[in-house]
């Protein structure tokens, strides 16, 4: 049917779920909205664009069913592939309701990703649990689900991924029920007050856990001791858990399989980092905002497998930075918001595998950029709020692999764009605070691959937007704070049909200009704050021609 369309699996197939394993895509719930966007984009395009490409039979089926949605009481007789896509589309388009959720009862769906969808409560969980042993993953954020609704999932014996972030109505006793999900490989309870030391005892039996996320859980101090037996645990996030101290680092020393550790706790010091010395498989270490100094590099420099290191917002100074030179396998390094200067960059010259470097708000000057000239594999570079000027960018001309460049720097002008024209592979260019004029925008023609562009400088006019209208790959565009932009700007941008997010706030755009947005069928976020545009007119546009627009801002009713 235009793709792999399986019939409902029989009992034998259901029994093989755990042996088949769990797709790695389910480990990245944080980007599920993006995944759904790309997964269903072709269906959306077929429904709205009337393009010349012939839709598959699968796409036509889904389009027809969703068009007559109110005529269906149950999708349980459909092939699972189709019912799964219909469910995902309804979530994506904010059309799932109490009425139509019942139609998915007993559909044997694999994945029920509802994210921050409003209205998810216990009666919805009854439908979720009806998927039985077919259900592999559940992702819910900020719902009204209680302990009772959570307990219904006990019917889903093959669950491998479970995420109930910001679900305040699930208590400590409710969280203890995770001990019954013996096949879990992914578990997330972000921003949950009920995750306590006592509740975390239930984790000790989940010996298949690979990824665990307790970001912003304020009650977990002392509870990490219950992770000691999780020999398969590869990823642990305790970001922004300010209750965590050095003593909580000690139980982590025995997690020999750990490859990713996200901490970000102000009470973790150099001593706490020293407890990580034996984690020889560690690939990603994020210590952002921790109270560590360059002395922590005495431990970190011994982590031979380390490829990504974030020491942003710590207490680093140039003294001791020579230890960076030992991290030969490092691919990503974030040193933003530290008291480091050009001298630190000198120790990075030998890190030839670096692909990403963040020096946001550091005291880096033009002279320091000369140390980066040999980092030929660099793809992402953040120089936001540094002291670099147009002249310093000459040192970067050899970095031809750059895809992402942040130059939110007041000293950057049109001359910089002229220097950067060799970076034809750029997909992201941030010039938020730079002084770019209409004249400088002519150089944007060299960046045909740009997907994200930020030109929030305040001096652009419609004439400058004329040089942006042919950047057909753009998905994210920020032109806010340019007071001289008019409705003509929206007319010029009407051909950028891939746009997902558009910000033209603080401009002279009016309701009359909204008509030019009609071709932008992929638009999901629109910011027209402090313009002569009313929310009423945006809602009309949303209802009639832009059904995928789920977020908009306007300061007028």
3 state SS for 182-207 = CCCCEEECCCCCCCCCCHHHHHHHCC
Residue 538: which pLDDT band, with cuts at 50, 70 and 90?
Answer: very high
Q: How far is CA 253 from CA 234, 369, 523, in A?
A: 13, 38, 47
Q: What percent of the chain has pLDDT over 90?
A: 78
Please measure the distance between the N-terminal and C-terminal CA atoms of the chain and give it in whole angstroms.
46
Q: Are 57 and 37 contacting, i.e. CB atoms less than 8 angstroms apart?
A: no
Average pLDDT over residues 283-289: 97
The answer, yes or no, to whether residue 399 has pLDDT greater than 90, is: yes
Is 258 buried (19+), middle (13-18) or exposed (0-12) by CB count in 10 A?
buried
Q: What are phi and psi of 363, to 5 degrees?
A: -90, 60
> pLDDT confidence of 4, banded at 50, 70, 90?
very low
Rounded Cα distance between 134 and 38, Å, is 24
CA 552, chain centre distance (Å): 20
Cβ atoms of 226 and 250 closer than 8 Å: no
pLDDT of residue 53: 62
Let me know how many helices (H) and strands (E) the chain has, helices first: 18, 19
Q: How large is the average pLDDT for residues 259-265?
A: 95
User: Residue 12, class by beta-carbon neighbours within 10 Å (0-12 exposed, 13-18 middle, 19+ buried)?
Assistant: exposed
CA within 13 Å, CB half, 496: 30
φ/ψ region of 296 (left if φ > 0, alpha if ψ in -120 to 50, else beta) reads: alpha
pLDDT score of 66: 72
Whether the CB-CB separation of 106 and 130 falls below 8 Å is answered with: yes
Torsion of CA 188, 191, 194, 199, to 10 degrees: 30
pTM for the full model?
A: 0.84
Which residue in 387, 297, 310 sits closest to 347, CA to CA? Answer: 297
Q: Is the pLDDT of residue 57 over 80?
A: no
The residues spanned by each domain of the chain are 60-107
Mean per-residue pLDDT over the chain, rounded:
88
Residue 177, exposed/middle/buried by CB under 10 A (0-12, 13-18, 19+)?
Answer: middle
pLDDT tier at 147, thresholds 50, 70, 90: very high
């Amino acid at each position: 049917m235009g793709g792999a369309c399986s019939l409902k699996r029989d009992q034998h197939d259901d029994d093989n779920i755990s042996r088949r394993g769990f797709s790695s895509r389910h480990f990245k719930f944080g980007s599920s909205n993006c995944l759904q966007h790309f997964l269903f984009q072709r269906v959306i395009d077929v429904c709205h664009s009337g393009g010349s490409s012939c839709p598959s039979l699968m796409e036509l089926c889904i389009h027809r069913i969703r068009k007559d949605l109110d005529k269906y009481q149950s999708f349980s007789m459909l092939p699972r592939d189709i019912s799964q896509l219909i469910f995902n589309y309804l979530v994506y388009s904010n059309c799932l309701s109490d009425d139509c959720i019942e139609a998915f009862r007993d559909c044997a769906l694999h994945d029920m990703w509802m994210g921050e969808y409003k209205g998810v409560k216990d009666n919805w969980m009854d439908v979720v649990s009806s998927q039985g042993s077919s259900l592999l993953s559940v992702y819910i954020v900020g719902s009204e689900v209680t302990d009772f609704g959570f307990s219904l999932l006990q019917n889903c014996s093959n669950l491998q991924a479970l995420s109930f972030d910001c679900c305040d109505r699930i208590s400590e006793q409710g969280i203890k029920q995770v001990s019954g999900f013996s096949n879990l490989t992914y578990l997330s309870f972000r921003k949950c007050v009920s995750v306590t030391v006592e509740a975390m005892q239930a984790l000790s039996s989940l010996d298949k856990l690979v990824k665990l996320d307790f970001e912003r859980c304020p009650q977990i101090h002392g509870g990490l001791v219950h992770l000691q037996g999780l020999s398969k645990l590869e990823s642990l996030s305790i970001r922004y858990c300010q209750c965590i101290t050095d003593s909580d680092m000690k139980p982590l020393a025995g997690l020999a399989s750990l490859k990713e550790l996200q901490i970000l706790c102000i009470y973790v010091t150099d001593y706490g980092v020293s407890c990580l010395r034996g984690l020889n498989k560690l690939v990603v270490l994020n210590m952002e905002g921790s109270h560590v100094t360059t002395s922590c590099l005495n431990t970190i420099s011994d982590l031979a497998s380390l490829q990504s290191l974030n020491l942003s917002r710590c207490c680093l100074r140039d003294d001791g930075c020579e230890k960076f030179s030992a991290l030969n396998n490092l691919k990503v390094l974030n040193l933003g918001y530290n008291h480091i200067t050009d001298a630190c960059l000198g120790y990075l010259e030998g890190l030839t595998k670096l692909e990403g470097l963040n020096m946001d708000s550091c005291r880096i000057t033009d002279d320091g950029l000369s140390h980066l000239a040999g980092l030929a594999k660099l793809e992402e570079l953040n120089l936001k709020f540094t002291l670099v000027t147009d002249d310093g960018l000459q040192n970067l001309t050899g970095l031809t692999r750059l895809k992402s460049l942040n130059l939110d720097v007041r000293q950057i002008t049109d001359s910089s764009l002229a220097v950067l024209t060799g970076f034809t592979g750029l997909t992201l260019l941030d010039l938020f605070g730079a002084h770019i004029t209409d004249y400088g925008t002519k150089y944007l023609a060299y960046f045909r691959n740009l997907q994200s562009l930020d030109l929030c400088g305040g001096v652009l006019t419609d004439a400058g937007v004329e040089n942006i209208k042919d950047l057909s790959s753009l998905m994210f565009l920020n032109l806010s704070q340019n007071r001289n932009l008019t409705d003509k700007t929206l007319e010029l941008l009407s051909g950028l049909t891939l746009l997902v997010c558009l910000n033209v706030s603080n401009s002279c755009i009016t309701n009359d200009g909204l008509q030019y947005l009609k071709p932008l069928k992929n638009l999901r976020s629109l910011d027209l704050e402090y313009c002569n545009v009313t929310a009423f007119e945006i809602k009309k546009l949303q209802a009639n021609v832009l059904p995928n627009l789920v977020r908009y801002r306007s300061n007028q009713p």
